[in-house]
Structure 1
C-alpha cells in the first residue's frame, strides 16, 4: 500500500511537471516521459495478477495499433531498401512506449490526473513570462526551440489549459482565472513567435469548444455564426493592431505574389512538389528516411527545385505529410492516418460519456490530435523527439483519462 501511494504521488508529480518543463527546460519532456513509462511498467508487473493482463480490450488494441503503426512503416521501408539505421526509429519509439502509460493509467484512480490541469496552465504562463522578460517582439524562440515549434506548443498548452475548466469538479473563480491566463499566455507566445501555421488551429479549437459543449444543440446555428463572426473580427483586429501579426501576414501575401520562387512559402511549395515526384517513383514504401535529402542535388540540377530550396530540403521538407509521403510512401501515409484518426475516433466516442470527467478529457484529447493535424501541414513536428514524446504521452494520458475505469465506481 505504501509503495502504491508513493508511485501514485510520483505519477501526479510527473503529470504536473512535464507541461511546465516542456518549453522551459531542455530534456525535461524526455525525462518526464521516461519516468512515467518506467512507473507504468512497474505497475504493470505489480498488478499483473489482479487483472491488467486481462484487459486487452478493443480500446487497447486500437491505441496499440495507432502508436505502433509509424515504427512498422519505417521498418517496412528499411527492409525494402535493405538499409538499417536505428536513428530513424527515435521519434516513432516515443509513440510505441506510450502504450504502457495508457494501459496502466486507465486502471488507476482518476484523481491521479488532477495535477495535469494545473501543470498545463502554469506551463503556458511560465513560457509567456520568459518570453516577456526576454524582450523578444518578433520570431520569438528559446535556446532549444525555433519559433515555429515554440509558438505551436505554447498555443496547445494555452488551449488545453482553458479546455480543462471544470474537469475534476466545478472550478473556483481563482482556478478559472488561472486557466484563462494560461490561454492568454499561450496566445501571446504564439503571436510573438510569428508561427503562422499554428494560427490556423485556433478556429478548430473554438469549434471543438462549441460542438462539444453540453448544450451545443441549443442555438447551434447562432453559436456557429457568432463564432465565425468573432474569428473574422478577431483576425481583422489582430492584423490591424498586433505588429507581428501584421508583418507575418504581409510576408505571406508577399510570398504568394512574388516573382522569385525562393520565398518562405515558395520554398515550401517547391519541396512539396519534389516530395510528390519522389513518391511517384516509389509509391509503396517511399525513398527511405534519407532519400529526400539525397535527392535534392539531383532535383536542383534538373530544375525541379532551386538551389536554395534544395539546401533547405536537405534538412526538412516543411510538412510532416509530404515528408512521410516521400520517405515512406503509402505505408507511411497509412501509419500517419492511424496515428491521428484512431485516437480521434476514440476521443470522440468518449465525448458522449455520461461522466463529466470523461467528456472533458475527451475534449482536451481532440484538441491535441486536431491541433497536431494542423501543425503538421507546414512543419515536420515529429522530427524533434521531444515533440513526438509530447504527442504520444499526452494522447496516452488524456485517452486513459477519457476511458478511465475507476470513474463509474467512484462517482455518479
Structure 2
C-alpha cells in the first residue's frame, strides 16, 4: 500500500536526485520528475477523500494550465502538429505533484529541505567538474554538457541562485555558497551571454529584495567585485575577451543600422520583428508555423529583414514572450501571466509579508527564467521546461503550506 511514509521517502529522494543529476546526466532528471508525477497521481488516488480545493489551488491550477490551454486553438487550426503543446504540457503534467505535496503536507510532516539543498550542492559541484572537463581538458570553445550551450548556461545559472538563496537559512550555508560560485563559473565557461548577463541582474534583484537587511557597503562591494571579475576575465581569457568584443561589434552594427550583419543579436531583433507581424496578422489565437515562415519570407522580400533571419525554422522568435504572442495570440499573453508574472507576484508578496526563505528562492528562480526568456524560448526545451514545472509545483506547494502556518524544512 502506498502510505504517507513511502510517499515522503520517495519525494525526499527525488528532491535530491533531480537537481543533483540535472546537468551531469543526459535527461535522467526528467525520468525522476516523471516518477514524481506518477507517484503523486497514485498518492492522490489513494488519498482522494483527503483532497481539498481552495482559492489558492485554483490560482495555481490556472498558472500551470494557461500555457497548455492557450495552445489548443492554434493546434486545432493548424491540424498538422501538436508541437504547440511543447511548452505548456510539461507545466500541466506537474500539477499532480503540487496537489500531492500540498495534501501530504496537510496530513503529515514533509521535511525535504535538506534533500533539496544536498541535491543542489551535488548538482553544482558536478556541473562545475563537467564544465572544467569540457573546457580545460577537451578544449571545447563553449561547454554544453549534454545540451546546447545556451540551455546548459541557463540551468547552471538556475542552480547557482537556488544554492545562493537557500543558503541564507541553511546549516549548509558555506557549502551552498561555494556550490553557487562553482555553478556561476560553469555558466561563464558556456560563454552564453543570456545566462552570463543574468547573474548580475539577479544579484541586483536579490539585493533589492533584501535592501533593508543588506548594508550599502556590501552592495557597492558586490558591484565592484563583479566588474573586477569581468575585467580580470577579459584580460586573462582569450575566449571571454573574444565574446565581449563580438558583442561590442554586434551592438556597433545594430547602432549603425546594419542589423542584418549582426548574425546573433541582430538576427534576434529581426526574429522579434517577424513575431510581431505574426501577432498583428492573427492577434486572437496566433499563427501556425507555416504562415509565420511565410510572413518572414515576405518581410525579406520587402527588405525589412535579412535573408538569413527570414529562413529560421517555424518562424522561431528566440524570445519566450514574442514566441507565445506570435503562436498563441492574446491567449499567449494570458500564458505569460500564468507562467511568469503571477507566480512572481505570489512568491514576492509572500516573502515581503513573512520573510520566508522559500518564497525568496521561488521569486528569484522565476525571475531568472523570465530573464532567460528574453533571449530564447527555454520552456519549450525538454529538460528546462520539465525542471521549471517541477520546481514551480514544489514552490507553490510550500507556499500553500506556509499560508496555513506550517513551516517546511
TM-score by length of 2: 0.88
1:266 matches 2:261? no
- Cα distance per residue 1:178-211 (max 9 Å; x no partner): 2122112211111010110122322332234334
* Aligned with 2:96 (options 89, 96, 100): 100
SS at match of 2:318: coil
The 1:208/1:110 distance shift into structure 2, 3 A limit, reads farther
Match of 1:155 in 2: 157
- Cα distance per residue 1:272-306 (max 9 Å; x no partner): 11111222211222112443235443433333322
Matches within 5 A, 1:372-387: 372-387=369-384
Which stretch of structure 1 is more off in the superposition, 223-232 or 184-193?
223-232
Per the TM alignment, residue 31 of structure 1 is displaced from its structure 2 partner at its CA by: 0.9
1:299 matches 2:294? no
Contact kept in structure 2, 1:200 and 1:374, CA below 8 Å: no
Contact kept in structure 1, 2:70 and 2:332, CA below 8 Å: yes
Aligned length: 397
Q: For structure 2, which runs of at least 5 residues remain unmatched after alignment?
A: none
In 1, distance between residues paired with 2:40 and 2:408? 24
The 1:13/1:317 distance shift into structure 2, 3 A limit, reads same
Match of 1:23 in 2: 23
Contact kept in structure 2, 1:148 and 1:195, CA below 8 Å: yes
Contact kept in structure 1, 2:167 and 2:174, CA below 8 Å: no
The 1:230/1:402 distance shift into structure 2, 3 A limit, reads farther
Per the TM alignment, residue 222 of structure 1 is displaced from its structure 2 partner at its CA by: 5.5
The 1:291/1:182 distance shift into structure 2, 3 A limit, reads farther
Matches within 5 A, 1:267-286: 267-286=267-286
In 1, distance between residues paired with 2:323 and 2:187? 24
In 2, distance between residues paired with 1:119 and 1:133? 21
Which stretch of structure 1 is more off in the superposition, 10-19 or 395-404?
395-404
Contact kept in structure 1, 2:156 and 2:186, CA below 8 Å: yes
In 1, distance between residues paired with 2:230 and 2:91? 35
* Aligned with 1:394 (options 379, 391, 396): 391
Per the TM alignment, residue 127 of structure 1 is displaced from its structure 2 partner at its CA by: 1.6
Matches within 5 A, 1:194-209: 194-209=191-206
In 1, distance between residues paired with 2:291 and 2:27? 29
Match of 2:351 in 1: 351
Which stretch of structure 1 is more off in the superposition, 117-126 or 219-228?
219-228
Per the TM alignment, residue 409 of structure 1 is displaced from its structure 2 partner at its CA by: 5.2
1:117 matches 2:121? no
* Aligned with 1:87 (options 83, 86, 90): 83
Contact kept in structure 1, 2:324 and 2:335, CA below 8 Å: no
SS at match of 2:288: coil
SS at match of 1:377: coil
In 2, distance between residues paired with 1:123 and 1:57? 35
Match of 1:140 in 2: 143
In 1, distance between residues paired with 2:364 and 2:68? 24
TM-score by length of 1: 0.87
In 1, distance between residues paired with 2:383 and 2:404? 31
Q: For structure 1, which runs of at least 5 residues remain unmatched after alignment?
A: none
SS at match of 2:25: coil
Query: What is the alpha-carbon root mean square deviation over aligned residues?
Result: 2.6
In 1, distance between residues paired with 2:151 and 2:304? 28
1:76 matches 2:73? yes
SS at match of 1:404: helix
1:38 matches 2:38? yes
The 1:351/1:289 distance shift into structure 2, 3 A limit, reads farther
The 1:409/1:157 distance shift into structure 2, 3 A limit, reads closer
The 1:22/1:84 distance shift into structure 2, 3 A limit, reads same
In 2, distance between residues paired with 1:396 and 1:150? 22
In 2, distance between residues paired with 1:277 and 1:236? 40
1:210 matches 2:202? no
The 1:291/1:120 distance shift into structure 2, 3 A limit, reads farther
The 1:29/1:291 distance shift into structure 2, 3 A limit, reads farther
Contact kept in structure 2, 1:121 and 1:158, CA below 8 Å: no
* Aligned with 1:250 (options 227, 240, 245): 245
SS at match of 2:311: helix
